[in-house]
Structure 1
Amino acid sequence: MIKSAVTISIVEEARKGPFVFHDDVPAACEKAAELGFDAVELFAPSADAITAQPLDELLQQHKLNLAAVGTGAGMVKHGLHLCDADSGRREQARDFIRGIIDAGAPFKAPAIIGSMQGRWDDMTDKETALGYLRDSLNELGAHAASLGVPLIYEPLNRYETNLATTMKEGVELLAPLTTDNVKLLADLFHMNIEEANIADGLRDGGKHIGHVHFVDSNRQAAGRGHMDYAPIAKALADIGYDGYCCAEAFPIPDSVETARQTIETFKAVFRS
């Protein structure tokens, strides 16, 4: 059965980003549980910032799971990405992600690679960049497997990457990997931009999809845009998806209302 989750960011540089809750992890967990979410997804500035949180206590107290941990602060805060022309910077990026994997693994929470994938540019042509990315996914995917969690790779829209922007391209990116432990994140906002049909895109991802970001066409809470969720739910059922649908949305008009709108739409789509 598909489960619900909601994002919490504790990254100062991402304060204007599409995260439902910001800064106060205990208060966010309390509100998430009160509203009926199954889990939270944490976006933190470092691995140490994750381990510094009293997550064991908070998750047990509120009967929540940790759905995933984000790595995007590596890019937002430190400018690190996996396609950097500088080999030392690429290694720093892998080290940052490895630390996030290690911090999430005790909670069975996979790490998500989104903005840290990088892009090809004048310094690094497309095939070279894809090679760098695949090398990192192989290494980090194997590391995650040793800890009993998958690694999640997120195709982004064309304004955020020029590597894989659709589910089909994501599958093609994963195909040559020597590890089978890297899964795709299907973010409905990015898919709304890049896929001709979101439901068909989900079917393209198929068994490779390991996480979903549940959001509307305008990156607000599900139910506040023009997205049609019926074919999306049908496609997820058709591919046998039973992971998390996590709200990664702008807190408009505020965090609590965004979370409330999300869970109401989630229940209407997946529980009715």
Structure 2
Amino acid sequence: MKLAYVYGTSETVAPVLGARGDAHTIFPRLKDSGYVAIEPFVRDPKLIDIVAFEKNLNRYGLEVAAVGTGPVVSDDKLTFTDHKNDSRAEAVKRVKDIVDFASRFGAPINIGKLRGEIDVNQPEQSWKWMKEGFIEVCEYAEKRGINIMLEPQNKKNINNIHSTVEALDFIEEMNISNFYLMLDIYHMSFENRNISSTFAKAKNKLLHLHFADRNRVVPGKGDFDFGCVIQSLGDIQYENYISLEVTYEKDWYEEAKSAASFLSLLK
């Protein structure tokens, strides 16, 4: 099991479901707790000292599991389906910049809320804009050897592509060679489907996972059956990273250690 932890890069503003702060404090603590990678949540790579960032990763022996795009939405309100042409264009441009960032590490990029909402008054137009956004960023990413991932999210987060099946159908419809799936256990818990069968269906497109128990607490502090999840992942021979995307009450470090210790018992 290759564990990673969400890390908000220096230019992000809104809270992230992970750690944020001095790399010299956070990175060695993660490494000592059993994590082998981070998943940077990025707002704008042009505001990051990428050379220093990469040096710190190498210094503490951490890899980049994937790159999250949530701060592009939470901090700058950019999406593929915005009514404003310049906002949609900036959303695509920002993802292209993130592709360049991710290409330094060979890491896939996750797109969740950045895909945008569907306007109920003009749904066809919204879907068209969303698909155009994915096509453009996937084409750009393919030239740089980077995969783009789609994350289904529950109805409280966004008004489209809520389930694994819906995401797989959308990916199949798009028919883009470097377009894949990322699943989040927290969002999957809303699907009311058998976990084993869901993973079996997703096997050929699943590149990355987020772990969180119900209410976004760390695994082991809720009632979700992670033993079943680990078994199901073994059945499909999943060998990629698992990132913790979780909330914490007081100390992220203690929560991170608790999660890593709990999950190590399920191997």
Q: TM-score range by the shorter chain?
A: over 0.9
Determine helix, strand or coil for the equivalent of 1:173. Answer: helix
| Counterpart in the other structure of 2:156 | 159
Is 1:135–2:132 an aligned residue pair?
Answer: yes
Which of 163, 169, 172 is residue 166 of structure 2 equivalent to?
169
Amino acid at match of 2:190: I
1:13 aligns with 2:13: yes
- TM-score, length basis structure 1: 0.91
Structure 2 contact 27–57 (Cα < 8 Å) conserved: yes
Q: Which moved more, 1:71-80 or 1:81-90?
A: 81-90
Alignment match, 1:252: 249
How far apart in 1 are the matches of 2:215 and 2:170?
27
| Mapped partners of 1:22, 1:123: distance in 2 | 39
Candidates 90, 109, 112, aligned match of 1:111: 109
TM-superposed CA distance for 1:23, in Å, is 2.2
Residue 53 to residue 73, structure 1, CA distance change in 2 (3 Å): farther
Aligned in 2, Cα 1:93/1:23: closer, same or farther, shift over 3 Å?
Answer: same
1:59 matched to which residue of 2?
Answer: 57
Q: Output the TM-score relative to the length of structure 2.
A: 0.93
> After TM superposition, what 4+ stretches of structure 1 lie above 4 angstroms from structure 2?
none
User: What residue in structure 1 maps to residue 91 of structure 2?
Assistant: 93
Matched residue, 2:141? 144
Q: Which moved more, 1:209-218 or 1:140-149?
A: 140-149
Retained in 1: the 8 A contact 2:41–2:68? yes
Deviation at residue 74 of structure 1 after TM alignment:
1.4
What corresponds to 2:80 in structure 1? 82
CA distance in 1, matches of 2:51, 2:41: 12
In 1, the alpha carbon distance for the partners of 2:236 and 2:203 equals 5
Contact kept in structure 2, 1:195 and 1:201, CA below 8 Å: no
The alignment yields a C-alpha RMSD, in angstroms, of 1.8
Question: 2 CA distance for matches of 1:116 and 1:251?
Answer: 24
Aligned-pair identity (%): 24
Matched, 1:196 2:193: yes
Aligned mates of 1:51, 1:180 — CA distance in 2: 31
Structure 1 Cα separation of the partners of residues 91 and 207 of structure 2: 22
The 3 A distance-change label for structure 1 pair 51 and 69 is farther
Partner of 2:26: 28
Instruction: Give the aligned residue type for 2:216.
Output: R
- Which residue does the alignment assign to 2:44? 46
Q: Which residue identity is paired with 1:78?
A: D
Does the CA contact (< 8 Å) of 2:109 and 2:149 recur in 1? yes
CA distance 1:260–1:138, change in 2 (3 Å):
same
Offset at residue 227 of structure 1 (A)? 0.7
Could you list the per-position Cα deviations for residues 212-246 of structure 1 after superposition, in whole angstroms to 9, with x for gaps in the alignment? 00111121111111010122112212222111110
Which residue identity lines up with residue 130 of structure 1 in the other structure? W
* Counterpart amino acid of residue 194 in structure 1: E
- Name the counterpart of 1:227: 224
| Whole-Å separation in 1 of the counterparts to 2:238 and 2:258 | 23
Q: 1:12 Cα shift?
A: 4.9
Kept in 1: contact 2:72–2:78 (CA 8 A): yes
Q: Structure 2 vs 1, CA of residues 96 and 195 (structure 1 numbering), >3 Å: closer, same or farther?
A: farther
2: CA distance between counterparts of 1:251 and 1:48? 29
SS in 1 for 2:7: strand
SS in 1 for 2:100: helix
Unaligned runs of at least 5 residues, structure 1: none
Between the aligned partners of 1:97 and 1:35, the Cα distance in structure 2 is 31
Q: Which residue of 1 aligns with 2:212?
A: 215
